Chains A and B, each alone.
Chain A
Amino acid sequence: MKKGENILQGRDVAVGYRQGKAIRWVVKNLSFSLQSAKLTCLLGPNGVGKSTLIKAIMGQNLPVKGEISYKGKPIGQLSPRDMARNVSVVLTDRISPGNLTVRQLVALGRIPFTSWLGSMSPEDEQAVQKALDATHIGYIENRKVSEISDGQLQKTMIARALAQDGKLIILDEPTAHLDLVNRLEIMQLLRDIAHTQQKAILVVTHDLDIAVETADEFWLMPCGGPVVIGRPEDLILSGAINQLLPDGKLQFSPTTGKVQAIMAEETIPVDGPEEVAQWLRMALRKQNMLPSNALRLSVTKDPVSFLIYRKETKEQFYTIEETLNALQLE
């Protein structure tokens, strides 16, 4: 993979919004850069200023200190049309253009390029077709937007942003309200697009698990703390990723790659194949079962079974529920 070029750069950026006459600064002292061919995920709790930051990047009229520049040009100097040709977005706003077909909606992305009447040139048609192909929605191009599923609609909106053909695409929680399969599919789609079409893609998301699996870079915005930028894998190993989680309650486990409740590590030891043993251990932790000298547990994989060894006896069970019941009788 070749190294991406810098698309967007921010130096000592602070963004705020006006409250009457005063300005409330939400984001402070932030330096960042977005590179092409990279999927960047912006993570942080609600109210930490993620939306404010992306609004500033989109060039909306907000009080901004420092400098945000697009390909070396301060974004304040770009005309709305130039901005539109370079930066496209997928927002959380509910849309309801039920009378448009999928293809027509994607074609709206060409508005910054077409003449005042909006007639499509062959290049415009080509860009639309390319966007439909990249998002794999060519098969529904003639369906009405009101007739497609939420996942398909989200892909359509991504295709529209692609058709706008800028180097930078910003998506605000594109996977909210979608089921797990669609969430994974959308994020993987975005990474593929970033890599194959050399786009810089910035995704605001709450979906830590999926972001870890798909993103090339993380921007973490913890409450109160400074922004942490790095490769997700590095942030996991350094433990920096835990800044996103409330203290003492949850942690990101480097072993499983999942957010987990911090539970008593100590529990009754379990032997046997790990893929079975870990689930029994999880169940034991949930029940707060402490180790005891008189007890040993083991599991087998084929068939799945659970064995309780006491001083002299050995019992075998085939579900965790039965095993726990037997243990709790004591």
Chain B
Amino acid sequence: MTNNSNRIRIYTLGGVALLLVLFLINISVGSIAIPLHEILAGLTGAALSKRSWEIILFDYRIPKALTAILAGLALSISGLQMQTFFRNPLAGPYVLGISSGAGLGVAVLLLGGSAVGWNLMGGSFIGIWGTILAASTGAMLVLILMSLTAWKVKDSMTLLIIGLMFGSATGAIISLLSYFGGAEELKLFTVWSMGSLGGVSKEQLWVFFMVCVIGIFPVILFVKSYNAMLLGERYAESMGVNLYQLRWAMILSTGMLAGSATAFCGPVAFIGIAVPHLARMVFQTGDHRVLFPASALIGASFLLLCDSISQLPGTTETLPINVITSLFGAPLVIWLILKRNFSRDF
């Protein structure tokens, strides 16, 4: 591990610097132009020259940038765990059905009512917390189903296929609900499913942050086991790795990280699958003690960048975040597949 430790050090420092720059760029762009020196002054504690700028900066842009950082790292770390655990380069939070589970929860909340004639959204008392609660419940439900299956099924490949089937099944139920749902609710759901980083308040950000901290804990605890998993389950077992514990750690951690990210921001596509590959490519290592922080850094930077682009600098329009991540993520994954033999990538 010594021969490229210099490379790793330089890239990590570079990554942190890049993250800071992207954070600055992210909070400087938006529909209202705020001069950069005002933002820098604001960050160092000085008052901004306009009260409205201060509200925009501290109540909107900074929470949104922090949300992007948290969601980016949460999804990337989930993706890396899944790819290593399932020994499958195409695994990600989508694959275990966690994102679709969250989607189903929200769909039931927004569309289910109107489908049977109730009007749950009539009053806005449910609001954002309702969505978050529904998404978390949906994600956790799929997760519990997956855990029960994981307990029965020993083979990871089978588990992965079952995850895909859960995803398809929840997708079908969502389609069904959309078919019967009212036009108004359908629009609300569609907007949620496009993803948004802007809807997270300061208090919710704290909740998100705490969930992420708890979710990362199992990763730190099992980082050595993930290295052993590079050789597959049987070798890992022969090196004393408790697969049963590792499986549960992976499920709980991914559930919390990807589940909360989806709940707060909607299903953000491609981060979970693409970022771990980027991390492996840039840092040229298979060591998870490097790959986990690297994925977190790259994931956070990637989502900050996507969000900055979605602001369409120079205009007052804002695109849904999912449009940008998919637009950049899909070609990235295709390029990765074409550029290098995926099976050699681990």
Contacts and interface: CB of A to CB of B under 8 A. Distances in A.
Contacts of B223: 117-118
B230 A83 contact: no
A97 B230 contact: yes
Contacts of B237: 60, 80
Interface in A86-112: 87-89, 91, 93, 95-101, 104-105, 107-109, 111-112
Contact of B344 (A96, A105, A118): A96
A91 B221 CA distance: 27
Nearest to A58: B238
A95 B345 contact: no
B74 interface: no
Contacts of A118: 223-224, 227, 289
Nearest to B87: A96
14 contacts: A89-B235, A93-B234, A93-B235, A95-B232, A95-B235, A96-B343, A96-B346, A98-B345, A99-B345, A100-B285, A104-B1, A108-B228, A112-B239, A142-B3
B231 interface: yes
A100 B238 CA distance: 19
B175 interface: no
B230 A100 contact: yes
Contacts of A87: 238
Contacts of A53: none
A73 interface: no
Given A89-B238, A93-B234, A164-B239, A99 B228 contact: no
B31 interface: no
A138 to B, nearest CB: 14
B54 interface: no
Contacts of A114: 224
B79 to A, nearest CB: 16
A99 B289 contact: no
Given A81-B240, A84-B238, A99 B1 contact: no
B287 interface: yes
B168 interface: no
A116 interface: yes
A114 B3 CA distance: 20
Contact of B224 (A58, A116, A164): A116
Interface string B19-52: 0000000000000000000000000000000000
B284 interface: yes
Interface in B221-263: 221, 223-224, 227-228, 230-232, 234-235, 237-242
B345 A111 contact: no
A50 interface: no
A142 B344 CA distance: 17
A163 to B, nearest CB: 10
A100 to B, nearest CB: 4
A98 B238 contact: no
A118 B225 CA distance: 9
Nearest to A83: B240
A281 interface: no
Contacts of A89: 234-235, 238
Interface in A134-171: 142, 146, 164
A157 to B, nearest CB: 9
A107 B1 contact: yes
A199 interface: no
Nearest to B238: A89
A191 interface: no
B61 interface: no
| Interface majority SS (helix, strand, loop, mixed), chain A | loop
10 closest pairs, A vs B, by CB? A84-B240, A98-B344, A99-B286, A118-B224, A97-B230, A100-B286, A146-B344, A81-B240, A112-B240, A111-B239
Given A89-B238, A95-B232, A104 B289 contact: no
B280 interface: yes
Contact of A99 (B3, B235, B240, B280): B280
A85 interface: yes
A58 B238 CA distance: 8
Contact of A95 (B3, B231, B240): B231
Given A80-B240, A100-B230, A91 B235 contact: yes
A108 B280 contact: no
B18 to A, nearest CB: 22
B217 to A, nearest CB: 13
B282 to A, nearest CB: 11
Contact of B227 (A84, A91, A108, A146): A108
Contacts of A108: 227-228, 230-231, 239
B239 A109 contact: yes
B242 A80 contact: yes
Contacts of B239: 84, 88, 108-109, 111-112, 164
Given A99-B280, A117-B223, A104 B286 contact: yes
Given A99-B284, A100-B286, A111 B232 contact: no
Given A85-B240, A107-B1, A111-B227, 18 more contacts: A80-B237, A84-B238, A89-B234, A95-B235, A96-B343, A96-B344, A96-B345, A97-B230, A97-B231, A97-B346, A98-B286, A98-B345, A100-B285, A100-B286, A100-B287, A105-B231, A117-B289, A164-B239
A84 B225 CA distance: 13
Given A99-B286, A104-B287, A142-B3, A88 B230 contact: no
Interface in B1-21: 1, 3
B277 to A, nearest CB: 11
A108 B344 CA distance: 18
Given A84-B239, A99-B346, A111 B3 contact: no
Nearest to B231: A95
Contacts of B345: 96, 98-99
Given A100-B286, A117-B224, A93 B238 contact: no
Nearest to A104: B1
Given A108-B227, A116-B224, A118-B227, A101 B3 contact: yes
